[in-house]
Amino acid sequence: MAAIDASCADALVAPFSAGRGRTPVDVPPGACDCHVHLYDARYPAAPAATLRPPDASAADYRRLQRRTGTQRVVFVTPSTYGTDNGPLCDALAAFGAQARGVAVVDERVSDSELEALHARGVRGIRLNLSLGVVNSASQIEPLARRVAPLGWHLQLLAPAHAWSDLASVLGDLPVPVVFDHFGRLAPAMAGRHASHALILRLLEERRAWVKLSGAYIVSERGAPGYEDVAALARGFLEAAPDRVLWGSDWPHASASAGHQAMPDDAQLMALLAGWIGTRRALHRVLVDNPVALYGFDRPTTTLETP
């Protein structure tokens, strides 16, 4: 990639992201950031919400895209709003065809509400069993059945030890499962824990996907390099390269709350490129796999370099 003038690099900053300048990675056209939250104080937080970060707007996120080189985005309703998907719908309207959504619902959602969300660009639901205030493990199967006719997926966040307890449920769902944040596996659990083995098996059976998002959350070594996460990421990529996604997890609500150091999103993209190794494989994770899961149009440009 051509060198960036210093004055231009200084202008490439974004809220809730450490560092400045564009990523050194040659990011392919149509690249998708598959895990982003927006926050808007016009929408009240759910009474039991524990994460209540400051506003992070669509305009703020566009500034981040200049740093990461991505063009497409998947917005996810955060735990802050419970089942209020209003901020998500606003984000989808702002980004149009370049965005998809993952909503949060409970058993009271109507078929007409699900269909309206689909028309706005929603392609999945998320159950947050770690910090969420509206969902429980007992809802996994019934909600999966509700969204199956729409061709949606079920995205899950839970403590890593929970996956092995849910093995019988997760292996028999009518929709794909998406594990975000590396399945919340600590790097030391790789190859040693039943939950890691379960995720690998579901990936290989093409019943699941995994997001390489939140490296700063699962890493036990921390910034700047999150070196201990590399083996975990590469294990997923080797097991099922066509079932792996990448997400920035911007605006890093847990870092804003002081639980971790604020990551540099441009460097998170560089970490991904280092884990993957080749341009073709990077294109698969950033472009082809999001097209397959979220239904984006396939970019007209093609990749010629191996």
Active site residues: 249
Closest CA to 266 of 38, 54, 60, 9: 9
Strands 99-103 and 32-36, by their bridges, are unpaired
Tokens of 36: 């982003």
Question: Measured between alpha carbons, how far is 183 from 159 in angstroms, rounded to an integer?
Answer: 8
Q: Using the CB atoms, write b or e for 191-218: b if 16+ within 10 Å.
A: eebebbebbbebbeeebbbbbbbbbbbb
Amino acid sitting at position 149? P
- 113-144 exposure pattern, b = at least 16 Cβ within 10 A, e = fewer: ebeebbebbbbbbbbbbeebbbbeeebbbebb
Span between the terminal Cα atoms of the chain, in Å = 17
- For residue 6, CA distances in Å to 11, 21, 22, 91, 170 come to 9, 9, 11, 32, 50
Beta bridge partners, 76, equal 102
Contact 158/125 with Cβ under 8 angstroms?
A: no
Give the Cα separation of 280 and 248 in Å (integer). 20
Residue 58 makes CB contacts below 8 A (sequence gap 6+) with: 38, 90, 91, 94, 95
